[in-house]
Chain A
Amino acid sequence: MEAATTKAPAAAPPRKKQRMTDRAKAERKLAWLLCAPAVIAMLIVTGYPIAYAFYLSLQKFDLRFPDEKEFVGFANYGDVLTSSTWWNDVGTTLIITVISVSVELVLGMLIALVMHRAIFGRGPVRATILIPYGIVTVVAAFAWRYAFDPTSGFVFGLPLVPDTWQPLTTKEGSLFVIILAEIWKTTPFMALLLLAGLALVPDELHEAAKVDGASTVQRFFRITLPLMKPAILVALLFRTLDAFRIFDNIFIIQPGGALGTESVSILGYNVLINRVNLGLGSAISILIFICVILIAVLFVKGLGTSTAQQRGET
C-alpha cells in the first residue's frame, strides 16, 4: 500500500500525508479530465498569445522591414526602460489609476449603501445606477469629448462654468476629463461589487451595536467596513487592474494620447499598430503585463486580498 502512495501521479502531488483512497484518485482523475477542455482553451487563447508576444519581444521585427528581422535578446526591454517616454507614460497612467480608483471607491460605497437601503423601487434604482456601465466605453467617451469640445461643447453653456475654461486644450484639463469619464463609467461596477460585500454584513451585528448605543457613523466604521474589507479589496484590485490598462477613453478624448495624456496602453498601441514595430511593441505589452501582475501580487500578498474570503470560504 505504501508503494501505491509514492506512485501517485505527479500532476496531483499529495498535499497532506494522508493516503488517497482509490475513489479519491479516480475522482481527481475525472476532475482533470473534465477540466482539460477549459484548460486547453485557456492555453490557446491566453497562454499562446503571451508566449508569442514574449518571443516577438526578443526580436528586432518591424513589419515594414521584414528583411531586417533578427534576434536581439533583451535589447527592446532596454530601449523601453531607458526611455523617458515610457516612464512619463507610467506616471500618467498611475495618476489616472490612483485618482479614478480612489474617487470611485468613495462614490461606489455611497451608491452601494443607497442601493442596499433602497426600500421601494429597488430594481429600478439599481438598474438606473448601472446604466453608465452598460454603455459602450467608446460611445460614452465620445459623449464626454463632445460635451467638452472647445467649439461646440455644451458644458461651457452651463451656469458656474467659465466660458474661457478649455479643459481639452491643456494636459491637466484633458486628464480631468479622462478621469471624469472613467469615474462616470465604472463607478457602478465598483458599487455592484461593494453591494455584494454589504450583503455579507449580518443585520444582527448592527442591531446588537444599536442596542449598545453605537451611532450610525460608528457602526459603519466599526462593523460594516471591517467586515467588508475582503469585498473592498477585491473591488479595488479589479478596478486598479482595469484602470492601469486604460485605453478607450484616452483614445477618443485625446486621440493618440495628445497633450501628454499617453497611457502605457496607448504607447503600446502606437508602437504596435501605428509603427507596426512588433518587437518593441511586444516588449511594451509584456512590460504592461508584468506591471499588472505586480499590482495583483501587491494586493493579494501585501493587503491580503483573497477571492476565497470574498466567497465566504475562509
Chain B
Amino acid sequence: MRRARRSHLGALALTVLAAVAVGCGVGGDEGGTGARAINWYAFNEPGGSYDMAVQNCNEQANGRYTINYVKLPNIADQQRELLVRRLAAEDDSIDLASLDVIWTAEFAEAEWILPWEGDRREAATEGKLEGPVETVDYQGKVWAIPHTSNTQLLWYRKDRVDAPPDDFTWDEMIDDAVEKGTAVEVQSAQYEGLVVWINAMITSAGGQIVNEQGDVEVNDTAKTAAEIEKKLATSAAAPPGMSTANEDAGRLGFESGRSDYMVNYPYIYPAAAEVGEDFQKSIGWARYPRSVPDRPSAPPLGGFNIAVSAYSNNPDLAFEAAECLASPENQALSAELGGLPPTSESVYDDPKVRKSYPFADELRESIDNAGPRPVTPAYSDISLAIQKTYHPPESVDPNTVVEQLRDRIEKAVDGKIF
C-alpha cells in the first residue's frame, strides 16, 4: 500500500513537471503569439521612454506589427545570461533584443543575430555617431542598430574644488582629494563596472587589451591602470566600501557629500535634482581624467543596440520595428526621460534634450573620443579575467599585474578555467 502510494506520487511529480515545462514554453505574458507580434527583449527602462517608444511605433505601424516590450532585469550581466540561454536554445519567442555594446561580437559569432545588409545597413548607421556605429560592427558587417549610447564624465563639486584643467590626471585628482580630505567615487566592485573603469584607464594610457585583429595585447598600460587603482584604494581618498562600489553606491556617496569627485554616467545629474536644486547646481562636469599627462583620455563607451534574432519568425518586420524603436524621436524620449544619451547626431541639437543635458556637448565629445572595450566573441570570459585580476583594488600588485592578466586572458580565450 505504501509503495503503491509512492508510485502515485512519482506519477504526480511527472505530471507536475510536464505541466511546469509546458507553462515555461508558452508563458502567458512573456510575449504575444500573434503572427505579427514582435517581441522586444530589453531592460526595464524606469523612465518609461521604452514603453512610449513601443506605443509610438505600434501606432505608426498601423497594424502591420505589434511590438511587445518584454522587460529584462536592470543588471547587464543578468540580461545577457537570460538572452544567451534563450538564444542558445534557439528560442523563437525573441524577435528583437537590446544588446549591450560589448555583446555584439559574441552574439554575431554564435550566429544568434542577423546582419543588417544593403539598405538596412544604411538605415542602421546613417546619421549616427562614429563610436556607437563601431560597436555594431563585427568583421566588417553591421549586426544591430545603435539605439542609445552612454559615457562617463568626471563630476565634481563646484563649491568645493577648482574646475579641473583640460589635462587633469587621475594622479592629480587623487592628490587633490587627499589634500582636501575628500573621496573619489569610482566603480570598483567585482563586476562589469570595474572592467569599464580599468579599460578606460588602459585605453587612456594608449593601450588596449585586444587589438583590431582580435589578438590579446596586454602591455605596460595594464600596469599604469593598476598603479592608479592601487594608489586610490590605499589612499585617504578611497571611498568607504570601495571594493563593493557600483554606480549607485558612488552616486549615493557623492550625494552624501563625502566625496568631491566622481566618475559616473550622466544619469546621476537628473537624480541629483531629487536631492535638491542647490545640490544639482553645485555639480560641475569635465572630461574623463587622463591616465598619463601627455595623452587625452579615452572615456568609457556604453549603451545599447537593437539586434534581430536569427530565430525570429518575422525577421523582416523585426528589422522594421527596430528601425522605428531607434528613430531619433524615440531616442530623444529616452534621453529626456531615461537619461540615456542618443546615438543620432541630430538629437544632440534637439532643444528639449539640450535642456535636460546642459552638458550635451561634453557628452558628445566624450563619446567621440571614447576607448571601446575589447571587441571579441570571448568578451564575457575576458571580462571575468579582468575582474579577477583587478579585484580587490587595494591588493592589486602593479608589478605582476601584466603577467597575471595576460595569463588569465589567454586561458579565458582558450576556454580554460582561470
Residues in chain A within 8 A of chain B (CB atoms): 31, 34-42, 44-45, 60, 62-66, 79-80, 83, 85-86, 149-152, 166, 168-171, 254-256, 258-259, 267, 270-271, 273-277, 279-280, 284
CB distance from A205 to the nearest CB of B (A): 31
Tell me the bound Cα distance from A64 to B80 in angstroms: 13
Tell me the bound Cα distance from A270 to B88 in angstroms: 16
Is A259's CB under 8 angstroms from B415's CB?
Answer: no
**Hey, which chain A residues are within 8 Å of B10, CB to CB?**
37-42
Is A63's CB under 8 angstroms from B88's CB?
Answer: yes
Contact of B81 among A39, A65, A274, A284 (CB under 8 A): A274
Is A38's CB under 8 angstroms from B417's CB?
Answer: no
Give B393's nearest chain A residue, CB to CB.
A169
Interface of chain B residues 391 through 418 with chain A (CB within 8 A): 391-392, 415-418
Give A279's nearest chain B residue, CB to CB.
B415
Is B417's CB under 8 angstroms from A271's CB?
Answer: yes
Interface of chain B residues 249 through 276 with chain A (CB within 8 A): 249, 252-253, 256
**Hey, which chain B residues are within 8 Å of A276, CB to CB?**
84, 88
Is A65's CB under 8 angstroms from B377's CB?
Answer: yes
Is B244's CB under 8 angstroms from A168's CB?
Answer: yes
Known contacts A66-B110, A259-B391, A274-B77: A280-B191 contact under CB 8 Å: no
Which residue among A38, A42, A149, A267 has the maximum number of chain B CB atoms within 10 Å of its CB? Answer: A38
* Interface SS, B side: helix
Known contacts A85-B417, A151-B241: A259-B9 contact under CB 8 Å: no
Is A169's CB under 8 angstroms from B88's CB?
Answer: no
Is B417's CB under 8 angstroms from A83's CB?
Answer: yes
CB distance from A224 to the nearest CB of B (A): 31
Is A45's CB under 8 angstroms from B17's CB?
Answer: yes
**Hey, which chain A residues are within 8 Å of B17, CB to CB?**
45
Q: For the side of the interface on B, what is the size category?
A: 35 or more
Give A41's nearest chain B residue, CB to CB.
B10
Is B14's CB under 8 angstroms from A41's CB?
Answer: yes
Tell me the bound Cα distance from A276 to B81 in angstroms: 9
Q: Is B355 an interface residue (CB 8 A)?
A: no
Tell me the bound Cα distance from A166 to B241 in angstroms: 7
Tell me the bound Cα distance from A80 to B381 in angstroms: 16
**Hey, which chain A residues are within 8 Å of B110, CB to CB?**
63-66
**Hey, which chain A residues are within 8 Å of B377, CB to CB?**
64-65
Is B253's CB under 8 angstroms from A169's CB?
Answer: no
Contact of B241 among A39, A85, A150, A279 (CB under 8 A): A150
Is A168's CB under 8 angstroms from B241's CB?
Answer: yes
**Hey, which chain A residues are within 8 Å of B417, CB to CB?**
79-80, 83, 85-86, 267, 271, 280, 284
